[in-house]
Structure 1
Amino acid sequence: MEAVSLGLDIGTTAIKAAAYDAQGRIAARTEAPSRSIGDGRGRSEQDMTEVWHGVCTSLRALRDKLHDRPIASLGICGQGDGLWLLDKHGAPCGPAMLWNDTRAARDMAGLEASGALDAVGLASHTALWPGTSGMLWRWLEHNEPDRAARATHAMTCADWIGYCLTGVIATDFSNATIPFLDLHSRRYSTNALTAMGCESLAPKLADPRPADSPLGTVTAAAAAATGLPEGLSVNVPTLDLAAMIVGMGLQQPGDSMFIMGTTAVVNILTDHVTPTPSPVGASALHASSDAIIRIFAPTTGASAFDWFAGLHPLSLSGTNAGEVADKLNALVRDVPPGANGVTFLPYLNGERAPFVAPEVSASFHGLRAQTSKADMGRAVMEGTALSLRHCLTAEGHTVDGPVKLAGGGSRNPLWSQIIADVTGTEVVVTKDSDHGLWGAACLGAAAAGLGPVASLTQRDEELHHFPPDPETARAYDRVFTRYMALSNATRATARTLSLSEDHP
């Protein structure tokens, strides 16, 4: 019986696992929920032991579906950033602080104003946000010093699960990049650590290794907990986004892709960046090649679609996401590009790319007495696409070839066409939605010596192409000019109001 390669993706809300045959076909797949803890005041945490138990549940269910089929390897990816701490005994130092925790926002604003974050930009070419490890460590040392003092190892979610499975602590270059790695030396930057006041964090960070290299093998205890065979090869865990890029076959400088998931992401692969004190977006090293991934992750993507549909439960509700999309598409299909003068700024959760502004909020502009619900719905779909173009413009990037589109929004043909027309580039969509799992599985297989990543990721996929319509693209040039003017003004206004509220 042919052996399968496993992929594991530990997300913030779900833990997914899948088994693949040699042709990249899914032999079995499972999913378990993952619970976050918040208080409405910026706290976002997860119980580390609970996450491990969720992984065990998902892997054991996958093993049961496979029956006695042999397993060749396991590859791991997971949510990035945040702060997952272990004590000297290898036990969690309380709950993990997640990538979307904002308790350090005020501290970060102060560091930014003082110029202290310039060293981070000059090392990793990344504009920080509050949920990165350095900012969370500063918050912890100030607010929970006893917990910080117990910490011996600092890691990411995927690293934690890799440790639970193998007993080995390691991180890959993708996860290690933000916020302290120097992109040129590929070592942690002393200047960045010192500028952020994180010298005490430095000895707790694991030296980075390639994600297609072996981490270790599944221990007897982990085998008993998960149902996996003892001694199974496991790769050095990687960032979920990096695994997705691998799974989509993006390896070379010039490759690019969009994600229209709950949040939106623009990813551009390059072979060189010139770090600056005040960069736009973030950077991460590729999981298995020498490329650098430039990452722009607006906080709002398909969640804007869900939000707008939720405001109209009588006309836009449905039993599933596809039914809701069909209803909204039918509503907005005949609205012309530009939504009859209505512009939606999609800052429902603040913004982090192509600028960092947690205080900015979403808004509609151009509303008049004759504005319809259809106009507003079209503007919501356009606003998220315009934010992708804003990211490309901020980077000064010109897309030369087709761009792959992933995420829930990619399953909406009308939205895919809007994105193609707004950005002026051909959009290519695959019906497969498992690229993170597939990428993780390929990295795991490569680490087990089953072949190079670039060869392992090749599989047959059904592709759908959405070329931009030239006339519509020209119309969106004018719409984008309007969008930029409104975005700049809104950002300045939000900043002024925020300062006035801080200093009555």
Structure 2
Amino acid sequence: MADRDIIIGIDAGTSVIKAVAFTLNGTQVGTSAVLNSYDTAPDGAATQDMARTWADCARALRGLQDKVDDLSARVAALAVTGQGDGTWLVGADNRPVTDAWLWLDARAARTTTDLAAKPQNAARFAATGTALNTCQMGAQMAHMDQHCPDLLDRAEAALHCKDWLYLNLTGERATDPSEASFTFGDFRTRQYDDDVIAALGLTHRRALLPQIIDGTRVTHPLSAKAAGETGLPEGTPVSLGYVDMVMTALGAGVHTGDAGTACSTIGSTGVHMRAVTSDDVHLTDGAQSGYVICLPAPNMVTQVQTNMAATLNIDWALRMAADLMSETGHPHDYADLVGRIDGWMGRSTPGALLYQPYVSEAGERGPMVNPNARAGFIGLAAHHRFADLMRGVVEGLGMAARDCYAAMNTGSGGDMPSELRITGGAARSPALRAVLAACVEAPVRVSTREEAGAAGCAMMAAVAIGAYPDMDACIAEWVTPLLGDAEQPDPLLTETYAGLYPAYAAARDALTPVWDQLAEHRRASHERQLETNERSLDAGPVTASTKGS
């Protein structure tokens, strides 16, 4: 029998579930991916079939055996992470109560607003370090409790995505310190907090919250049932990872022992993180925003600010260009234009336009929470061309990153990171990296790690089974050597963006009442359209006898 030299990291995203094989020293040797899917409804629902999600996970694990020789005999441990927030209810015999409510689900919006306005919310924020939003299990469960309590009545445990998969892998109902503390607990103790649960109005539902386990210290064996479905050996140790955001950041270099470093994931959304001690957390003043999420290292947490849209802004601009070209009889797909971005950036003037990158229809949540925020250009003139617009969009992402890091100042070393590690598809663009470096006023480095999220949770399993004495030792071998060379910020760009940022922040504040008025206009227009539709239905169909009258 071959030596057990493989750790499998499972990363269950919203649309793709990946199973990735790593050697004990962190070398990636195989990947298997299965497309996932979710359903939406006009009332704001975004749900996912829980049974299908587990079946897709098992299929990804079986597929990995076609990519790695003798995998079943070589696997030393498994670990699992997944999409954060949302509510995955489990009832009798560990069966789903209903489809999972995802982080995209908007049904709890009014409940969230009401809870955030209560006096108890200040204490909840102080404990969790996390602003209340519709993504979170706490808000969703509070909404269920008020509007569909039968779901909670039939439930025996409230889990997250990775917790659901861990249950199917091991038979254990559990969650991890990261999601437990930013939803229902205190990031300092990494335990549930009764005052937080009470602030959400869920004290009578506390029994639904599962045990909290740290996957660097505790594993459970792969069950016989799961072994049969995955083809992996019964009894293999399984580690429950932390939420996917911090697993990705861990794998990409957010915490390597270098003071002042930070990590940004520039994907469809923008996730900006700094690793600090629990004592060095700086909570936003005034309006609450951001998350505080524990790291799998003693007394270390990440301060997090997230933009609702990052590369979605670029996708919008490229789709506009592709649509216009297609209208002229030259069909284009927007994805074909991605390779032209750096060229457009090179043919445009830095800082000529200001772009607010709030293109998501859900508005913005970092560093301010405003569902009415919308994207727009400021400073357009007749001489501007598409290259100028594209540069403005990319620079808007850099300004948004600066905005987020300024909001999480720890009070030790200034507002901006000393070095920024970047991950996500957009990190491949030299022009984007140059903009980020200049906006944040720090050198940037890109990790060559392909599957950072799966690597992050696999690292937890590596520590749990004793392959490394602690997480710092694992990081030294799995993460630090894969960081690329530091790319220094261009002094002229840095000066340009330092001068532009105050205007960006001023425009953000000044446009707030305008966004609110536009939102009210959209609401009123929608209501008028509904009334028109209802009158048309009441009038009935036009018949031949009345058509000409």
Q: Cα–Cα, structure 1 residues 260 and 134, in superposed 2: closer, same or farther, change >3 Å?
A: same
State yes or no: 1:366 paired with 2:368: no
SS at match of 1:311: helix
State yes or no: 1:382 paired with 2:395: yes
Q: Deviations over 1:139-164 (max 9, x none)?
A: 21223221221011011100110010
* TM-superposed deviation, 1:40: 4.0
State yes or no: 1:354 paired with 2:360: no
State yes or no: 1:83 paired with 2:101: no
The residue aligned with 1:485 is: 506
Looking at structure 2, the residues matched to 294 and 209 of structure 1 have their Cα atoms a distance apart, in angstroms, of 21
Write the letter of the residue equivalent to 2:69: H
Looking at structure 1, the residues matched to 334 and 170 of structure 2 have their Cα atoms a distance apart, in angstroms, of 39
The residue aligned with 2:212 is: 208
* TM-superposed deviation, 1:329: 1.9
Write the letter of the residue equivalent to 2:290: G
Looking at structure 2, the residues matched to 423 and 318 of structure 1 have their Cα atoms a distance apart, in angstroms, of 34
Tell whether the 8 Å contact from 1:127 to 1:280 is kept in structure 2 after alignment.
yes
Tell whether the 8 Å contact from 1:345 to 1:487 is kept in structure 2 after alignment.
no
SS at match of 2:191: coil
Tell whether the 8 Å contact from 1:82 to 1:132 is kept in structure 2 after alignment.
yes
* TM-superposed deviation, 1:498: 4.2
The residue aligned with 1:341 is: 353
* TM-superposed deviation, 1:345: 3.2
The residue aligned with 1:246 is: 250
* TM-superposed deviation, 1:496: 4.6
The residue aligned with 1:327 is: 340
SS at match of 2:93: coil
The residue aligned with 2:455 is: 438
**2:115 aligned residue (108, 111, 128):** 111
* TM-superposed deviation, 1:198: 1.4
Map 1:302-313 → 2, pairs under 5 A: 302-313=311-322
Q: Cα–Cα, structure 1 residues 319 and 16, in superposed 2: closer, same or farther, change >3 Å?
A: farther
Write the letter of the residue equivalent to 2:463: A
* TM-superposed deviation, 1:7: 0.7
* TM-superposed deviation, 1:360: 1.6
The residue aligned with 2:270 is: 264
Write the letter of the residue equivalent to 2:487: F
Tell whether the 8 Å contact from 1:243 to 1:287 is kept in structure 2 after alignment.
no
Q: Cα–Cα, structure 1 residues 181 and 410, in superposed 2: closer, same or farther, change >3 Å?
A: same
Percent identical pairs in the alignment equals 27
Q: 201-210 or 294-303, which moves further after superposition?
A: 201-210
Tell whether the 8 Å contact from 1:305 to 1:380 is kept in structure 2 after alignment.
yes
Looking at structure 1, the residues matched to 429 and 488 of structure 2 have their Cα atoms a distance apart, in angstroms, of 15
**1:255 aligned residue (261, 264, 272):** 261
State yes or no: 1:230 paired with 2:234: yes
* TM-superposed deviation, 1:95: 0.6
SS at match of 1:85: strand
* TM-superposed deviation, 1:494: 2.1
Looking at structure 1, the residues matched to 196 and 314 of structure 2 have their Cα atoms a distance apart, in angstroms, of 38
**1:155 aligned residue (159, 168, 175):** 159
The residue aligned with 2:445 is: 428
Q: Cα–Cα, structure 1 residues 324 and 127, in superposed 2: closer, same or farther, change >3 Å?
A: same
Q: Deviations over 1:107-133 (max 9, x none)?
A: 212222333422221211111110101
Q: Cα–Cα, structure 1 residues 187 and 26, in superposed 2: closer, same or farther, change >3 Å?
A: closer
Looking at structure 2, the residues matched to 500 and 306 of structure 1 have their Cα atoms a distance apart, in angstroms, of 26
Q: Cα–Cα, structure 1 residues 190 and 23, in superposed 2: closer, same or farther, change >3 Å?
A: closer
Tell whether the 8 Å contact from 2:306 to 2:365 is kept in structure 1 after alignment.
yes
The residue aligned with 1:286 is: 295
Write the letter of the residue equivalent to 1:257: C
The residue aligned with 2:471 is: 453
Q: CA RMSD in A?
A: 2.3
Looking at structure 2, the residues matched to 500 and 108 of structure 1 have their Cα atoms a distance apart, in angstroms, of 23
Q: Deviations over 1:336-362 (max 9, x none)?
A: 211x23434334231111011122222
Tell whether the 8 Å contact from 2:357 to 2:375 is kept in structure 1 after alignment.
yes
Q: Deviations over 1:449-476 (max 9, x none)?
A: 2223322331442614321111211110
TM-score normalised to the size of structure 1?
A: 0.94
Looking at structure 1, the residues matched to 374 and 241 of structure 2 have their Cα atoms a distance apart, in angstroms, of 35
Rg comparison, structure with higher value: 2
Aligned residue pairs, count: 502
The residue aligned with 1:122 is: 126
SS at match of 2:366: coil
Looking at structure 2, the residues matched to 39 and 167 of structure 1 have their Cα atoms a distance apart, in angstroms, of 32
Looking at structure 1, the residues matched to 137 and 64 of structure 2 have their Cα atoms a distance apart, in angstroms, of 32
Tell whether the 8 Å contact from 2:260 to 2:419 is kept in structure 1 after alignment.
no
TM-score normalised to the size of structure 2?
A: 0.86
Write the letter of the residue equivalent to 1:103: R
Tell whether the 8 Å contact from 1:346 to 1:362 is kept in structure 2 after alignment.
yes
Q: Deviations over 1:220-241 (max 9, x none)?
A: 1101111111111011232111
The residue aligned with 1:395 is: 408
SS at match of 1:74: strand
